[in-house]
Amino acid sequence: MIVNIQQSYDGLLAGIKHQLELQNQGNAQISSGKRFTRPAEAALDYKTSLDLRRGQKGVASSQQAINTASARLNNSMSMLNSMQQILVRAQTLAVQQASGQISTNDRQGALAEIVHLQDSLFTYANQRLDGQSLFSGTATANDAFVKDVDGNIVYNGNAEDRTVAITTTQTVSSNVRGDNTAFTRMFAAMKSFENALRADNQTGIQTALGDLNTAGGSIIDIIAEVGARVRSMDLQQQLYADIGLSLDTRLTDHEGIDIASTVARLQQSSIALQASYSQVATLRSLSLVNFLK
């Protein structure tokens, strides 16, 4: 078997090419901070990266959906709280006006306040967020409540809830619908109180007081329910924040390079490369021709 100088050159060349590939790969990893960036580098790892990134997008979507639902529910709750305050004021007035010591003139004064409070309730019930009616179901272009020819306030929305998609399979209702009986009771009690005051009807005022108490209780019930839903949204927001953090960590662990080991590998490769270059120079002088004079 002949071992000739050409074989040595070929072997060294193959080694140099290999070391250069390692250098190239290592430099790309260090500059990108990732173990791989292309599907061809690591097929299954790349797929895992896509799945994790998809998960991150899903979490971002869920958080955005929860924010949307929270905003609607919080605004709805603010309006309901305002309505409840109006009902408390109406109850106070009703207690005062139910007394036999109140004169007709006093009741007319109270009537003016009640009419004003009803207007405020009507305004609150037709509150909009981003131009969309809060309490009209999915008929968001409509005012939730309108006045009929008799001046009664009636529901003008539809019976569909406004849902938001937290995930592709999980939806939650993000609204309070105005066809809830609490709204009907509230407007009816206020109207009943107004009519009793207008008629200076003490018995009617006492009946209206009972209705206002019932309506107030109903509104408080809705506020409590919305509060629970807001709390649930907060908990879900926290949950998705945790999931997002976990995904971020997993993605970093999965894609990120171990800089220390990569640099060490590059250093080893660099030494091998230099040794190969040196050996090429050495081989150049190893020939019998140099010694034949």
Partner 1 sequence: MISAALNVAASSLKAQQQAIDVISHNIANVNTPGYSRQTATLASALPESQGAFHLGRGVQLADIQRAVDPFLNQALDTNSSYLSYSQTLEQGLVSVENIFGSLDAPGLASSLDDFFQAYQFLANNPQDAAQRNNVRAFGTDIANQLGSMRSQLVLAQTSADESIDNSIIKVNQALDSIASLNTQIAARENSTGNLANDLRDQRDLAIRTLSGLIPVQIVNGSGDQILVQSMGGDLLVQDSDARHLARGGTAGAGFTGVVIEGSTAQLSGLDTGGEIGGFITLRDNRLGTYITQLDSLAANLSFGVNQLHASGAGLTLPGIVTSEMAASVPASAVDAAGQNVPFASQIVSGGFQVHVYDAAGTPQPAGGTTISITAGVTTVNQLVTDLNAVAGITATLDATNHIVIDAGTGSVGFSNDTSNVLAAYEIGTFFHGDNAANLDISASIKADANHIAAGAIDATTSVNNPGGNSVALQIIAFQNTSLSVDGTTAATVQERSTTVSMDYAGHVQAATQQRIFRDAESQSLGAQLMAFSGVNTDEELVNMIKFQRAYEAAAKVITTSNSMLDSLLSLVR
Binding site for partner 1 (CB under 8 A): 1-7, 10-11, 14, 32, 34, 36-40, 42-44, 46-47, 49-50, 53-54, 57-58, 60-61, 64-65, 68-69, 130-132, 137-141, 158, 160, 162-165, 168-169, 171, 174, 255, 287-289, 292
In the bound state with partner 1, the residue whose beta carbon lies nearer, of 131 and 151, is 131
In the bound state with partner 1, the residue whose beta carbon lies nearer, of 41 and 106, is 41
Burial class (CB in 10 A: 0-12, 13-18, 19+), 75: middle
φ, ψ at 172 (rounded to 5°): -130, 150
In the bound state with partner 1, the residue whose beta carbon lies nearer, of 38 and 147, is 38
Instruction: State in angstroms the smallest separation of the CB of 40 from partner 1.
Output: 4
In the bound state with partner 1, the residue whose beta carbon lies nearer, of 10 and 113, is 10
- Tell me the chain's radius of gyration from C-alpha atoms: 39
Spatial distance between the Cα atoms of 228 and 107, rounded to a whole number of angstroms: 39
In the bound state with partner 1, the residue whose beta carbon lies nearer, of 47 and 116, is 47
Max alpha carbon distance in the chain (Å)?
141
Give the DSSP letter string of 67-123.
HHHHHHHHHHHHHHHHHHHHHHHHHHHHHHHTSTT--HHHHHHHHHHHHHHHHHHHH
Instruction: State in angstroms the smallest separation of the CB of 188 from partner 1.
Output: 26
Instruction: State in angstroms the smallest separation of the CB of 181 from partner 1.
Output: 22
Instruction: State in angstroms the smallest separation of the CB of 64 from partner 1.
Output: 6
Instruction: State in angstroms the smallest separation of the CB of 184 from partner 1.
Output: 21
**Selection from 50, 28, 31 nearest residue 254 by Cα:** 50
In the bound state with partner 1, the residue whose beta carbon lies nearer, of 132 and 184, is 132
- Inter-residue contact 63 to 241 (CB < 8 Å): yes
Spatial distance between the Cα atoms of 80 and 176, rounded to a whole number of angstroms: 10
Instruction: State in angstroms the smallest separation of the CB of 166 from partner 1.
Output: 9
